[in-house]
Amino acid sequence: MPAKAIAAVTFLVAYVMLIRGKVHPPYVVWSGSILLLALKVITPVQALRSINLNVIGIFIGMMILSDLFIHSRVPAYLACVLVHPKRTIAGAVLGVCILSGAVSAVVDNVATVLMIAPIALEVSRRLKISPVPFIIGISVSANLQGAATLVGDSTSILLASAADMTFADFFWMKGRAGIFFSVQLAAIASFYVLHLIFKKYKGNCVSVGSIRVTSWVPTILMILMMLTMAASSFLPDRPDWTIGAIALAYAAIGLVWNALTGYKPLDLARDLDWATVFLLGGLFVLIGSLTLTGLVFDIASLISGWTKGNAFVAYNVIVWMSVVVSAFVDNIPYTMAMLPVAQLVSNGIGTSPYVMMFGLLLGTTLGGNITPIGASANVVAVSLLRKNGHKVTFGDFARIGFPFTVAAVLVGSLVNWVVWR
């Protein structure tokens, strides 16, 4: 059997098993990865290179800071602020999702989910509602705003590299409004969808009393980390692993502070979610095999063939095919494969390359919101819910992610076309 077919079948079988949820997810993805290695579809070196160490570093660093953050009681304090007696329950839930989007514009999506999820869990506990739609809303909001700035998501970094864009170009570029504003208008549409979903929570919040914060140090470390991540975008030739290294560095500072002050007993082997670390690593290998065997590039070639001639048709094929593919395939290798295709298509039909590349970024970034494994932030969000005793099915996720994605892509892609065509 050709390597492409083996990689495709292995991925599909693993995906079905993840959907069914009968086997522990890390076992599924690593069984598939080991099979690919045994059949020599990919080499050990290629498998290691497929693992995005930047995302893994962010996840581990944020797990540590998030644990200290929770213990500081700041999430509980913020929950008290949001759960104000004069505020509706739906307003409180939506407010945290908006907070997630705002943070994600300057912090990686995975880091944002790890940072905001404790607040959501605390608010849902106090409101006595299920945190499942709440956490899903946080994740999809983070993924949306990840496309707004250079530091918001790995795909934004890939776009900036291909288009030679600076941090400021995302806001204003060549006398036109940057992609930041397309994302914000898309956010208005998608947050309205969340409003419709969350309005079933009737009534106002109740007073939950006051909360005493035990320490502001973890919060300060998180704020400094965000500022450092944003500032790092101005470094020339910034390495791909910079954001992950920053997260790990601040986590190390937090661990040293914790050890010196005796602030919180912390067992890294027991308390942190290492299962999700292994799940992410295995997913990167599985998805990397699709790129290494040429399947992702075959998809790119098909799109290129379909989009010759009509600029508007070409644009929409790139946008919506990106949405569909990114719902099932990691958007980083897909974006890498499709950026040169978008540039070639725009050159062939005589339109701006930016309209195609920005449309690609919107499609790939938002498409991952349809399924729980379409984006790393979604995987993390679902894992956090399971860790707290809440089961999440593909249907649970899609009921929020699908309408959220459609609304955001429709508005964002239309605005982008009008501005950059």
How far is 138 from 100, CA to CA, in rounded Å? 6
Band of pLDDT at residue 408, cut at 50, 70 and 90: very high
Q: What local confidence, expressed as pLDDT, does residue 112 receive? A: 80
- DSSP of 49-60: HHS-HHHHHHHH
How far is 41 from 31, CA to CA, in rounded Å? 14
Mean pLDDT of the chain: 85
Q: What local confidence, expressed as pLDDT, does residue 274 receive? A: 82
Distances (CA, A) of 155 to 82, 149, 150, 358: 32, 10, 9, 11
- Taking CA 34 as the corner, what is the angle to CA 29 and CA 35, rounded to the nearest 5 degrees? 95
Q: What local confidence, expressed as pLDDT, does residue 238 receive? A: 77
Q: Which amino acid, one-letter code, is at 311? A: A
* Segment among 213-222, 253-262, 278-287, 331-340 with least mean pLDDT: 331-340
Give the residue extent of every domain in the chain: 3-420
Asked if residue 79 lies in contact with residue 104, where contact means CB atoms within 8 angstroms, the answer is no
Mean pLDDT confidence for 334-362: 85
Characterise 21 by phi-psi region: left (phi > 0), alpha (psi -120 to 50), beta (else): left
How far is 259 from 265, CA to CA, in rounded Å? 9
Q: What is the pTM of this model?
A: 0.74
pLDDT in tens, 67-97: 888 788 787 777 677 777 777 888 888 888 8
DSSP state of 152: S
Phi, psi of 204 (to 5 degrees): -100, 160
DSSP state of 210: -
- With b meaning 16 or more CB within 10 Å and e meaning fewer, what string describes 21-55? eeeebbebbbbbbebbbeeebbeeebbeebbbebb
Q: Say yes or no to pLDDT of 184 above 90.
A: yes
Nearest to 237 by CA among 343, 160, 178: 160
Q: What local confidence, expressed as pLDDT, does residue 333 receive? A: 66
Q: Which amino acid, one-letter code, is at 48? A: L
Structure tokens at 111: 């880091």
Structure tokens at 58: 């962010």
Q: Say yes or no to pLDDT of 44 above 80.
A: yes
Percent of the chain with pLDDT over 70: 95
| Residue, of 388 and 80, whose pLDDT is higher | 388
